[in-house]
Amino acid sequence: MATSPTVRQRELGKRLRELRNQHGLTVEEVADKLLCSATKISRLETGARRSSFRDVRDFCELYGLDEPTSTEFMSLAREARQRAVGGPAIMAAQLDKVLQAERRGKVTVQVVSFDFGAHAAQDSNFILFEFADNTNQSPVVSVEGLTGMQYLEKPADITRYREAIECLRDSALSPRDSIALVAEKQRAYANRGD
């Protein structure tokens, strides 16, 4: 029986938390050293967020792990990325929904490749809501946190998140190339079946 990627993800997080505690560091101190948010570190340690290879490499360097242990941690990260939740049929259906929404003109799809590395929104999930001029409603940013949602309405916050969106657009594949990639992945999942 194959091991679940979620189990591997949680195992990696548990071991990262143990290393942090062995080094006598707080989540905030690790976040400061790795130039990311404490929320990201917390989510990685609980297995709520999948570690990128870059994340794992940075942790290994921070904690001074030897080559064999670093290789073991990278293997855990690789295994956590192998089987999608729900299986190939679910992934194919989800990607098909994205393609249908794009065809109907409901969304613009742009993919930021894993190969790109660090990007503007890697340590948080957010949505910028903007309303038609005739509604007289100001924009709102909804930020997903570890224990709930936060809503930001200050002009400075809105400006910062607009900048992040622009940076993401610049980092992503073009809409045309993104849709081609999503369609390719959808076909691959559909051909794999359950």
Residues of the chain with CATH 1.10.260.40: 5-80
Residue 2: is its pLDDT beyond 70? Answer: no
Render pLDDT for 53-99 as a digit per residue (tens, 0 to 9).
Answer: 899 999 999 999 999 999 999 998 888 876 756 778 888 999 999 99
Q: What is the mean pLDDT of the chain?
A: 87
Do residues 30 and 41 touch, judged by C-beta distance below 8 A? yes
Higher pLDDT, 180 or 171: 180
The Cα–Cα gap between 192 and 182 comes to 15
The Cα–Cα gap between 61 and 41 comes to 15
Task: State the burial class of residue 73 (Cβ atoms within 10 Å of its Cβ: 0-12, 13-18, 19+).
Answer: buried
* 167: amino acid identity, one letter: C
Task: Please tell me the pTM assigned to this model.
Answer: 0.53
Helix (H, G, I), strand (E, B) or coil at 129: strand
CATH of 5-80, picked from 3.20.20.70, 1.10.260.40, 1.50.10.10, 3.40.50.1820, is 1.10.260.40
Higher pLDDT, 136 or 151: 151
The Cα–Cα gap between 42 and 153 comes to 26
The Cα–Cα gap between 109 and 35 comes to 28
Averaged pLDDT, 94-119:
86
Residue 119: is its pLDDT beyond 60? Answer: no
Q: What percent of the chain has pLDDT over 90?
A: 58
Residue 114: is its pLDDT beyond 80? Answer: no
Element (H, E) at 183: helix 175-192
pLDDT for position 9: 87
pLDDT band at 124 (very low <50, low <70, confident <90, very high): confident
Can you name the residues that pair with 33 across neighbouring β-strands? none
Q: Which of 120, 125, 110, 114 is nearest to 49 (CA)?
A: 125
